[in-house]
Each structure stands twice: as C-alpha cells, then as structure tokens.
Amino acid sequence: MPTTHHHTLDDVTQAHLHARPILLSGGAVVTMDPDVPDMDSGDVLIIGTRIVAVGADLRSDREHGAVAASALVIDTRGSIVSPGFVDTHRHAWESQLRRSIPDVNDLGDYVTSTLAGIAPSYTPHDMYVGTRLAALTALDSGITSMLDFSHNSRTTAHSDAAISALIDTGIRGIHASMGPHFGEWDHQWPADLERMVDAFQGANNGLVSVRLAALSTDEIAGPAIAYGPGLAALARDLGIWTSIDAVFGVPSSEAIVRWAEEGILDPTLTLVHSTGLTPDAWAAMGHAGVSVSLAPTSDAQIGLETAIPAVDEALAAGIRPALSIDVEVALASDMFTQMRTLHAIQRMRATNGAYGSTRLPSRITTRDVLDFATLQGAKANALDHVTGSVTPGKDADILIVRANDINNMPLNDAVGTLVLGTDPRNIDTVLVAGNPRKWDGALVGDDIDELRDVVIRSRDDITRRAAGQ
C-alpha cells in the first residue's frame, strides 16, 4: 500500500523553495546518528534544505511546537524515514553498457573489454548520457549522494559533460576525475583539475564537489595515473580529497607503506576495494585514518584478488568502511544488493571460521551495514557534516520507504526491513537537501521514455564506433 499523500508534489516543492516548514510525521525514524535515537513513531522537521528537529511529537515540543504546527505535514505512518544511501565509488559513464559482460571472468577481462575496447569510443555526449542514467538510477534506488569515479576524462569537454549530468539530475554528486587508461586523449589531466575546482566546486547550491581520482600502482595503465607525491601535492594545493582505485594485493600494499613513509597517506584518501592487503598496509591505513570503500559484489563476483570484501580487515584496523557499486557492466546498480552481499559474506566467513570450535564468531549486523551505506559513506565522501544521518543541522537527504508494501509488511524491525526487505520499488520519496527527486514512487521531472531513446542511441553509437564501423 503506497504512502497516502495529503499534498501534491507541487505543494512540497513550493514549501521547499519558500522555506515553509515541512513535517514528516508518524513514521518509524531510523537516524543512523548515535546521538539521535531511532523511533518507532516520530517526526522530522525540515525547513528549506535543512533538518531542524527530530522528535517523537514535535507539534507538542516546547522548542519546535509552533513551527511544527505551521508546517506542511507529510503523513509517514506505515513508512520508514531514513537517511539516503551514499555510494562512494561508481564508474557512472559506463551505464549504457549495463550487464553487457555479466559473467566477466576477472579484472583483466573487464579492463580489456571496457577500458581498452569501449572507453576510447566515448564522446562528451556519451559521458553525459551515461552519467545521467547512473545518477537517476541511484536516486530511484535511494542513493542521494554518489561519487562518480570518472576515469574516462579524455578532454575537458568529457569532464564537463559528466559534471553537468550530476548537476542536471539534482543528486549530491562528487566528480572524481582521472585520465583514461588507454587510447587517445588530450593529456589535460591532472592539470585540468584546477579549472574544474574553480568552475564546479560547490556548484548547484553546494551539491557538487570535485576530487582527484587515481590508481594505486602503475600495473594496469602506467605511472601517469598512479597515486604518488606529484598527485598528492596537486590535491593538497587544490584542497581536495583523493579516491584511489584498484587497491589490490602485495603491489598496492607496498605502495601504501611507501605513501606512509612519504607522508602522503592521510585522512583525505579513500582506498577502494583494499582486498588482499598485507598486515603492514592495514596498520599504516589505520594509523593514517584513511577511508576504505568496499565494493562487495565487485570483489566477490568478478573475483578481485582474494575475492573477499575486506570488511573484517578494515574493522580490525579501526576503519569503519563505506560501500560502493563499482561497474554496472557486470554488477547490480543499487545499495540494497551491496548491503545484503556484505552482510551475508561476512557472517558466512565468520561462522565458517569458527565452525567445529568453541569460539563465538564475530558477525556484523544489519545496523553495521546500514551505517556503512550511510554515515560511513558520507565520511568517505567528505560530506558527513551535511549528510549521512537524520541529524538536526544536516541537509535533508532523506528517504521515505513504504513499510506496508507486500514485501515489507508487517513492520517489525525498521533497520532489518531497510537492509533485508526493501528494494527500489518501496522507496516512495527521495529528498536531496529537502528537494523532492522521487515522489509517490516515481522520479521527478524526468521523461523516462525520452531518456530510454537517448540511452539506446548512445549505446548503439558507442558500440558501432568501437567496432570501427
């Protein structure tokens, strides 16, 4: 049963634009803020872009009662109000090629087919189309913040097109720019980052940010796009963070220890995957306070290094990891799949490790993986001061999830329902900084039929050019 809307989308949009208070009232509230308790039934008060208050009955609250009483009320009974999910690593430009290699054998197959075979055929328009499709899909599935690891930056126009797509969709988007692995390109990266920071940092009313992207070593595509002192100095001078992909095995472990010795391993880094690393590397990462972005389905399905998502290793090093989607050419697009995959793999591994002994396995919980998908993701994206939890003072990046739908009813545990029961069809409303991007189960302001035509034409043009036709 869908949430009953007593107001129209236009009512809510106008309230948002004119800073009229909006009260989400009566639903279960999952805050993911350790200092703001969850509630079986509660209220969230929003004014403009911000969450103002969270409480059991704000209209009866001494401090906020008068404002709550004047608010436009959205009845969330029968629903769960939660923070939006945060994706910390997705190669968004590839989305026209979704599931084109569903049974890819290994990293080499992906690199050869997609990065070497297809990527050089992308135009700026294709970059825009792919990134827009990925961002809209993210919003539809409850991801309010997405880091686009844009590693096909062949020209300034390619980069600008990818950033424009983030702006046009209204997602809280992080553009992480990296030069391409193979093929012809302008070699404007990384120098072009200064222009991008000047032009786009804080664009779309603060929703867009820019960071550096790099690989951990020169094994895949040479030294130009591998992290080291030069790129670290550039990021430091520009005041931006860095995401480092393909962090695998002994070579990456040696690089991490070297970065620590060089003084360039620090909290402004997000290390992606981090599978098969040595104890020395994990010790250095924990000491430095880096973030880790796990890609649970990517590691397990494609078979990256050990093929086991490094959640136990991260937690042992004192790092609560974030989650990410990675490549849609072979993987699912949503955060529910990532949470469930990690939850199942870690608990399987823990139980199997203790099987036949008297030891009690150390198993993560549904709240752990929801934390990874929200607050820890916001920290990895350098945005935990504005998103990642339902906290007064933060931006209203919020989901309203139908708990009375056939696959969720009856609601017995809100966190368990979000992690184990819910899928994108249950997401009634998505707010990004208070602005509705999904309403009554449908994306706002986007013609999906028109988008489909554009996506298919782009895919066909890319594959034709890649085939030399």
Report d(CA 77, CA 402) in Å as an integer. 9
Q: How far apart are CA 229 and CA 235, in angstroms?
A: 10
- As annotated, the residues of the chain forming the CATH 2.30.40.10 domain(s) are 9-83+393-443
Torsion of CA 418, 88, 111, 140, to 10 degrees: 50
User: 205 pLDDT exceeds 50?
Assistant: yes
Cβ contact 268:235 at 8 Å: yes
Q: What is the pLDDT of residues 260-285, one digit of tens each?
A: 999 999 999 999 999 999 999 999 99
Q: Cα angle at 139 between 408 and 399, to 5 degrees?
A: 45
pLDDT in tens, 126-152: 999 999 999 999 999 999 999 999 999
The band of 4, judged by pLDDT with boundaries at 50, 70 and 90, is very low
Compute CA 283 distance to the chain's CA centroid, rounded to the nearest angstrom.
26
Tokens 């499709």 correspond to: 133
Residue 213's nearest CA partner among 144, 132, 271 is 271
Q: Which fold has domain 9-83+393-443?
A: Urease, subunit C; domain 1 (2.30.40)
- Residue 219, pLDDT score: 85
Chain position carrying tokens 């490094």: 310
Domain span(s) for CATH 3.20.20.140 in the chain: 85-380
Is the distance from CB of 174 to CB of 197 less than 8 angstroms? no
Residue 366, both tokens = 């549904």
Segment 322-328 shows an average pLDDT of 98
Region for 281 from its dihedrals, namely left if φ exceeds 0, alpha if ψ lies in -120 to 50, beta otherwise: alpha
pTM above 0.85, yes or no: yes
pLDDT score, position 6: 66
pLDDT exceeds 80 at position 3: no
CATH number belonging to domain 85-380: 3.20.20.140
In this prediction, residues 436-446 reach a mean pLDDT of: 95
**Rounded to the nearest 5 degrees, what angle is found at the Cα of 286, between the Cα atoms of 82 and 383?**
35
Q: Which of 68-77, 282-291, 372-381, 460-469 bottoms out in mean pLDDT, i.e. has the lowest?
A: 460-469
Mean pLDDT for the stretch of residues 48-71:
96
**pLDDT value of position 243:** 98
For residue range 332-344, what is the model confidence (pLDDT) as tens digits?
Answer: 999 999 999 999 9
21-26: average pLDDT: 97
The encoded tokens of residue 28 equal 């279960």
440 near 5, Cβ under 8 Å? yes
Mean pLDDT of 60-83: 96
Where is average pLDDT lowest: 17-21, 144-148, 403-407? 17-21
Tens of pLDDT, residue by residue over 101-126, are: 999 999 999 999 999 999 999 999 99
CB 426 within 8 A of CB 408: yes
Q: What is the pLDDT of the chain when averaged over all its residues?
A: 96
Give the burial class of 85: count Cβ atoms within 10 A of its Cβ; 0-12 exposed, 13-18 middle, 19 or more buried: buried
Share of the chain above pLDDT 70, in %: 99
